[in-house]
Amino acid sequence: MAVTIALVGNPNSGKTTLFNALTGSRQFVGNWPGVTVEKKEGLLKGYADVTIVDLPGVYSLSPYTPEEVIARRFILEERPDAILNIIDGSNPERNLYLTTQILELGIPVVCAVNMLDVLEKRGDKLELSRLSTALGCPCIAISALRSVNVRSAADLAVQCASPAPPDKRSGVLNPPVSFNAITERAIAELQALLPYPQERGNRRFNAIKLFERDEIALARLSAASTLELERIVALAESELHDDSESIIANGRYEFVERTVAKCLARHRPGTSATERIDRIVLNRVAALPIFAAVIFAVYYVSVSTVGAMVTSWTGTVLFGSIVPEVIGGLLDSAMAADWQRGLILDGIVAGAGTVLGFVPQLLILFFMLAFLESCGYMARIAFILDRLFRSFGLSGKSFIPFVIGTGCGVPGIMASRTIESESDRRMTIITTTFMPCGAKLPVIALFAGALFQGSGLVALNAYAIGIAAILISGLILRRFKLFRGEISPFVMELPEYRLPTLANLLRSTWERGLSFIKKAGTLILLSSIAVWFLSSFGIVGGGLRMLHADEISRSFLATIGGMLSWVFIPLGFGTWQSTVAVITGLLAKENIVATLGVLYGAGGMQTAFSPAVGLAFLYFNLLCPPCCAAIGAIRREMNSARWTTFALAYQLCFAYAAALLIRIAVTLIFA
């Protein structure tokens, strides 16, 4: 019999880590809220018919955020056979509020208490036997990060989900929270208003939601039932001198406080290591300089020092000398035709090889970013920049998509779903791809190495330009009527600092790196071949033939690029080669490197671009509309062709204006 177990818990409680451990999935785990924005499914290892569903992290089952809507809809409509509720043991007061709601759903529940080691380091102890008695359901200590007891928790959930009679199951089916007599009377009366037939076992949950005037619950009532509901709720509010939502919330928090007081023994009050670190990194004066120093260090190591040394070997020696010589020798021995040599050496090796040469830099960058995400510092950056963002008309919640977008623009755009305000969400979608993603790093590294002796300041400036573009766009877009309005509030949990495991860091690095290599082996490879063919063939004397090196201006590619190159003349790179690179970059930004590698070869960049023009070209491609995959994500999230067109047009105009100003400024400075 097929069994479905839902993983439910607060953001950053360890759900995705547990999901990875139970299913073997490769979902990345970050130590900050917002990593999971959709439900994910996987089979429980060792079972052929047990599905584990990882729901977005939520603080309650009230429909205030997109994550809460997704989680609630799945639980109520698809009715999992059991719920594995992950509780952050280092902060039980906050986590148990959600637990009180889950226990009212009539679904067997197992509570997996995670991160008790953090609690114990503070000298505190949580008595799980008492907690289990108070909640009326099994509670088991786990460590999702170290895979301790995770299988036992899953097996217990499977046992609870078995088709045994309710009184024989391990999971609770009777909610432990009792409200005051007036509220309980109102809840009992509201249960009579529920539509019939009612879903299995969650009558009390829906009645409580009706008492809170929950919009989703109210939508199911008839007009007559709604009038009766208002009478019942208004009477309770009058007797208790409070609004219905606060009455329920206070009742839950009172239960949580009593439960924690019974189960949690506090032995050593004092300042935690997290609080001591935050006094420094969140200092009003030092926070921004520390943030700038951290980001500079990340890109200095990955682009200018360690990464540059390794990339220099892979790009110049491996793909610039060893691979071409070996393949060239094989082609000579096989007596390959000129077009075959050109295709393999000038198309595949020169194009895709140029991109693959930057893999070491990317892997180092991905590793360091994964460390910042996993240890908890990324959440602090969002807190640091919230005030700055709000002063420019942006929501602090926008920072989460921006950070995710540094890896890939597609999940960054999707992460905008966490923003409630429609105008703030649209602004975030439009500006997220201004942050350089991993695909743009090879472009940054190429120009830094070719024109600026590999200076790490080029990479740092690229991210500074991205942030500046976002802030300036906030001021510009807020002037449009459609983007006006109050900025949505930003409330975000700052997790405990944790030393990430090497396995988690390597998994993240490998997954991101593998994704890049797969793209280089498919889309970029095909694009390199297309660029080689279009640049090597043309119509001469009324017939198609392969061109000599000095005839490239007569190629198909030169013709295509020449038709559009006039657009970029004011920016300084109005050549057909640069124009073609911009066009291929719309398929994948790494294609820019591959295209320039095919057209200019080794050493051709210095003669093709001056520093001013090189920076204009670089920043135009960093800010212009993203790759086709990200454009598709913009279309899905906007759910409107008109808004998608506006987003792309704005990005294009902004990139053009920024590149023009940069070229003029750099020219004047170095004149």
pLDDT band at 172 (very low <50, low <70, confident <90, very high): very low
**Whole-number percent of the chain with pLDDT over 70:** 86
Amino acid 619: pLDDT: 92
The structural domains of the chain, with segments of one domain joined by +, span 3-168, 181-265, 290-486+500-669
* Residue from 464, 243, 458, 445 nearest 361 by CA: 445
Between the ranges 46-60, 262-276, 486-500, where is the mean pLDDT highest? 46-60
Residue linked to tokens 């009478």: 231
Query: Which structure tokens are listed for 140?
Result: 């088991």
What is the mean predicted confidence (pLDDT) over 293-309? 77
| pLDDT tens per residue across span 380-394 | 877 777 777 777 877
CATH node for 3-168: 3.40.50.300
> Can you say how many angstroms the Cα of residue 341 is from the centroid of all Cα atoms in its chain?
42
Give me the DSSP letters along 558-616.
Answer: HHHHHHHGGGGGGGT--SHHHHHHHHHHTT-THHHHHHHHHHH-TT-HHHH--HHHHHH
pLDDT band at 661 (very low <50, low <70, confident <90, very high): very high
What residues are paired with 50 via a beta bridge? 3
Helices (DSSP H) in 392-438: which residue ranges?
A: 399-405, 409-414, 422-432
The answer to whether 358 and 445 are in contact (CB under 8 A) is yes
* Residue from 436, 435, 447, 439 nearest 612 by CA: 447
SS3 annotation, 79-107: CCCEEEEEEECCCHHHHHHHHHHHCCCCC
The CA distance from 232 to 34, in Å, is 38
Burial of 456 (0-12, 13-18, 19+ CB in 10 A): buried
Query: Which structure tokens are listed for 380?
Result: 């602090």
Query: Which structure tokens are listed for 34?
Result: 């917002």
pLDDT band at 167 (very low <50, low <70, confident <90, very high): very low
The answer to whether 109 and 5 are in contact (CB under 8 A) is no
What is the mean predicted confidence (pLDDT) over 163-171? 46
Between the ranges 486-495, 513-522, 649-658, where is the mean pLDDT highest? 649-658
* Residue from 423, 397, 421 nearest 479 by CA: 423
Amino acid 570: pLDDT: 92
**Whole-number percent of the chain with pLDDT over 90:** 8
Amino acid 200: pLDDT: 53
Amino acid 296: pLDDT: 80
The CA distance from 518 to 18, in Å, is 27
What is the mean predicted confidence (pLDDT) over 358-369? 80
Burial of 516 (0-12, 13-18, 19+ CB in 10 A): buried
Query: Which structure tokens are listed for 83?
Result: 């719920």
CA separation (Å) from 616 to 259, 620, 653, 656, 659? 61, 6, 14, 9, 5
Amino acid 165: pLDDT: 44
What is the mean predicted confidence (pLDDT) over 624-641? 85
Q: Angle at Cα 643 formed by Cα 641 and Cα 646, nearest 5°?
A: 110
Q: Angle at Cα 133 formed by Cα 131 and Cα 137, nearest 5°?
A: 85
Kindly indicate whether the domain formed by 181-265 is annotated with CATH number 1.10.287.1770. yes
The CA distance from 327 to 658, in Å, is 43
pLDDT band at 27 (very low <50, low <70, confident <90, very high): low
Cis? peptide before 197, omega within 30° of 0: yes
Between the ranges 250-254, 382-386, 494-498, where is the mean pLDDT highest? 250-254
* Residue from 232, 329, 351 nearest 590 by CA: 351
Per-residue pLDDT for 658 more than 90? Answer: yes
Amino acid 174: pLDDT: 60
| pLDDT tens per residue across span 173-200 | 566 788 899 998 988 888 888 775 555 5
Amino acid 315: pLDDT: 66
Amino acid 352: pLDDT: 67
Query: Which structure tokens are listed for 309?
Result: 């040394």
Per-residue pLDDT for 659 more than 90? Answer: yes
Amino acid 171: pLDDT: 45
Amino acid 166: pLDDT: 45
CA separation (Å) from 490 to 77, 259, 368, 398, 582? 30, 29, 27, 9, 37
pLDDT band at 270 (very low <50, low <70, confident <90, very high): low
Of residues 255 and 272, the one with the higher pLDDT is 255
Query: Position 51: which residue type?
Result: T
What is the mean predicted confidence (pLDDT) over 33-51? 73
The answer to whether 214 and 220 are in contact (CB under 8 A) is no
How much is the mean pLDDT over the chain? 80
